[in-house]
Structure 1
Amino acid sequence: MFVKTVATLKSDLETKLAFMQQGSMTVTLVHNFQFEPVKSISNLKNLEQNLENSEYMEKFYNYLKSVIGPQGDPCNGLNVCYDLIDNIFERKFMVLFSWTGTSRSEQPKYAIREFRNILSAFFTIVKSVNNNFSIKMMESFFKSITKNAKKRSEAKGLRMSTVHRRTKKPKAGTTNFSIDKIAIFNNQSSEENGT
């Protein structure tokens, strides 16, 4: 069933990407399009159904594209993903989801992977600003978001969610290469001068 879902999602995405690349989905400001982040299952089902309509899909695409901007993302599209997820869903609502619909607690969860039109729109928007973004990356992102949904819902929202790249610290006992190089150079120079 999972393979079938991914295959269907991929074919839908390829169709929409081809549609976008033909220039049919140009970014224009949509003045009459109103969208608020989804906060209930009924809103989510309505959005899923509305995205089947190509006219609504284009308005939705243009609206979210205007929110994230035309610029790419050096982090494989993940910063754009965080921005989009916060504009499409309320954080407290995401607690009700997991990728597959399974839950460790007694509270049942909905499977986000079943909402193919929403995932397709999400992928199309991220892919439009970052060509390296893939379906596997999107799946991994949604798994991570749903796994950490409770922590994200409790966050105060003081800053935007972004990818954090940490630099590696040098191991204890190692020396700085440039200092060693200078010391070796100084020793060779003093030996050549006879001092």
Structure 2
Amino acid sequence: MSPRKSASETAATRTRIIERALALASTDGLEGVTIGRLAADLGMSKAGVIGHFGTKEALQLAALDAAVQAFRLRVPARVVGARPGAERLALLFGEWIDYMLDGDAPGGCFITSVASEFDGRPGPVRDAVLAALSGWSAYVEGEIRAAVEAGDLPGETDIDQLAFELNGVALAADQAIQLHHDPAAPSRARRAIGRLLAPGQVPRAGSEGAPS
């Protein structure tokens, strides 16, 4: 076996392990993914599974990183060509809602789920989740600024507050879809997002929130 082929096969096996870990974590939680379960599902030894990562925590971090990359390709990457402004913001959150409904994400938004699982558990996994969500918030705030610059939103828009409210709608939608199995949740969320992005409704700097 050539070294190149060996490296290729090692990378392929590592990918298989991560993909299976993500599938299990989407329903059982990231902490619920055990080396024994992965080994049994993949027809490998426990030593063979852990040997690709070193520790269970390293495996969790690798799975989380893969989920973040998949989210970026599934949500932000799909709105790159849209005109900067309120239209792109609405499309962005619409893609996030569609992602929650995807058959590839049976447990809803994976990153949101892991955030709830690890929010009270200090450590590298929590830190990685926090970094991913902080990056998302910064990205949304940048899109809101672009909407202000495009003239779609008022110049005095409270960017932090609007980002908070938009993310809040998406998180509420994820819970309604996954926990309550509410078929109306996606359309309700889209209406709420549209209302938040209406120029006369966005929260203004110096106010306590959106005008009534």
Q: TM-score, structure 2 length as denominator?
A: 0.33
TM-score, with length taken from structure 1 = 0.35
Structure with the larger RCO, 1 or 2 (CA within 8 Å, 6+ apart): 1
